[in-house]
Structure formats: structure tokens, C-alpha cells
A and B are shown apart, each in its own frame.
Chain A
Amino acid sequence: MAHLLREKGFNAFVIVGGLAAWRKAGEALEPVPKDDLVKLPTFS
């Protein structure tokens, strides 16, 4: 995805190790807002 963003002209980077590395380093986290927990089709 970062490659795609760069192709579109964005100055994109990738955080090595992702969220797990961020958490392991003890950096700040926050709960994901409910609005961001978008649902896939519910199948109900």
C-alpha cells in the first residue's frame, strides 16, 4: 500500500514492526474510536 501511495505522489513510509513494535517500545496508544470500527456485511 505504501508503494501505491508513493506512486500517487504521497510521501509514504512504513513503520517497521507495525503496531506490535510500537506497543513493545512503550509508545503512546489510544482506543480505536467506535466510528472507525466499520463493519463488513453483517449477513443477518
Chain B
Amino acid sequence: MNDFLALIARHGYALVSAVVLAESIGLPMPAALALVTGGAAAAAGILSAPMLLLLGTVAMLLGDSLLYVLGRYMGWGLLGFLCRVSVNPETCILRSAESFYKRGKITLVIAKFIPGVNTMAPPLAGSMKMRFLQFLRLDLAGATLYVAAYLALGFLFRDFLKTIMRGFLTARHALTAVLLIALLAYVVYRVWLFRKYVVYRVVPRVQVQELAQKLASEQNGRILIVDVRSHGYYDAGTERIKGSIRLEPNNLSDELKTLPKNKDIYLYCT
């Protein structure tokens, strides 16, 4: 326990800042846990709560600003990259875009608390050309809220955390077993998710040449080609397959009402 507290006392600010910065740029780091620990350390008088709040917020702003700038210049390519670790990349992007649709600018303030949207919000704001000062203002509010909330959690529940820490040190073996079980459960969960989304791959596919032949034949009256690219894939002067219609993926329930059921529908994206 003393070793751990000494580590926190010596490197606490740097550790918390680094973990928060790493998570804000999309790395799988437990920023919330680091902040809760920092809050508990502040309650024990080891670290300063205002300093943790300042450093945590600045670290988060730095990471978010980096993603904002990258999103501005790389567009949805970056979003696709960030979503690549997701089980269903398209859903990952759409979920973030949908959040902006529903909540607009306020998304940036609450994004940190929404798994899957937290890392996507800054680059999405960048790709949607939000003004940088406006982004900074909203992101500052969101980062401050997030950092303060978890610091406060650690501050208020410091005794509980202390109990956990004491238990951790006295029952290392048991905890190792628990961690292994948790890791195994996580792997099983990922496999389950993977199998769940495999179903999306059983949809019939058609090669370009085959479809072009159908279009040139008498069957063309039964064919409807549908462009399902998300907004971010559209640039000025962009093209689409001739004769295709647009279907907005983020507004699917309304869009489906306009689709005919007596035609073969061929979907495409980028």
C-alpha cells in the first residue's frame, strides 16, 4: 500500500495526465479509473485536486484537439481508422454521426460519457468543419465535466477505494484469478459480438459485371440501385452510380417508407 501511495505521490500528476491524454486520442486506456484514483489520492492529501483537474482537462483538450485537426484534414478516413478496432466499423461511424444529428453541438459536451462516441466526437467535429474556437469552448466544457466527475467520485469514495486497495494487497492471488476470469469473459464477449455480426456477411452479393448485364437486359425495370454512403463520404463534385438513388443511413426508418418492395435493391457505398 505504501509503495503504491509513494508511486502516486511521485508520479501521480504525470500518470493521470498521460492516461487521460492516451485515452483521448483513442488508445484503450482507463482514464476514468486514473481520475478516480487521482481523486482518492487528493482526498488523502497526496495530490492536489485543483491541479489534477487542470492537468486532466488540459491533457484531454490536447488529445481532442489533435483528433479535431486530424479529422479536419483527413475527414472520414480517420473516423474509419478509429472505428477499425470496432466489431462493426460502419455502425461505429453512424452511431457518432447520429449523435450529432440528434443532439447537435451538445454532443461534444456529453460525448465523454458515451462509450463509442467519446473518441469519435472531436474528429467528427473537425470533419464537419466546426470552427476551432467553438470546438475548444464546447470540448473544454465536456472535458472539465468529465474530469471533475471522476475526480469527485474518487474523492468521495476514497475509503471504499482504500478498502479495495488493502484487499488487493492481501489477496493478490484471488485477485489474479478474478482478473483472469474477467479477461476470459471479455474474450468470450468479443467472440460473441463477432459471431453476432457475422450474420451481416450472409447477405447476397453481386459483382459489378453481373449487375451491369442485368441493367442492359430486360430486367432493368426491376432493379433499384441505392447509394448508402454516409454524409462524410460526400465531397463537392462527387459522383454516384448512374440512375441510383440516395438513402440516408442515419434516417433509415423514414427512408424505408419510400423503397419499393417489388424491386431488387442493390446497395453500395464507397
List chain A positions with a Cβ less than 8 A from chain B. 1-6, 8-25, 27-32, 36-41, 43
Contacts and interface: CB of A to CB of B under 8 A. Distances in A.
A18 B270 contact: yes
Contacts of B265: 5, 10-13
B240 A32 contact: yes
Is the contact region of chain A dominated by helix, strand, or loop, or is it mixed? Answer: mixed
A33 to B, nearest CB: 8
A1 B238 contact: no
Contacts of A38: 231, 248
A18 B125 CA distance: 26
A11 B252 contact: no
Interface string B101-135: 10011000000000000000000010011110010
B162 to A, nearest CB: 45
Contacts of A12: 203, 265-267
A30 B242 contact: yes
A28 B242 CA distance: 6
B104 to A, nearest CB: 5
B177 interface: no
A40 B246 CA distance: 15
Contact size range, B = 35 or more
B199 interface: yes
Interface of B: 90, 97, 100-101, 104-105, 125, 128-131, 134, 199-200, 202-209, 211-212, 225, 227-229, 231, 234, 237-243, 246, 248-249, 252, 256, 259, 261, 263-270
Contact of B240 (A14, A17, A30): A30
B242 A13 contact: no
A3 B261 CA distance: 15
Contacts of A32: 227, 234, 238-240, 246
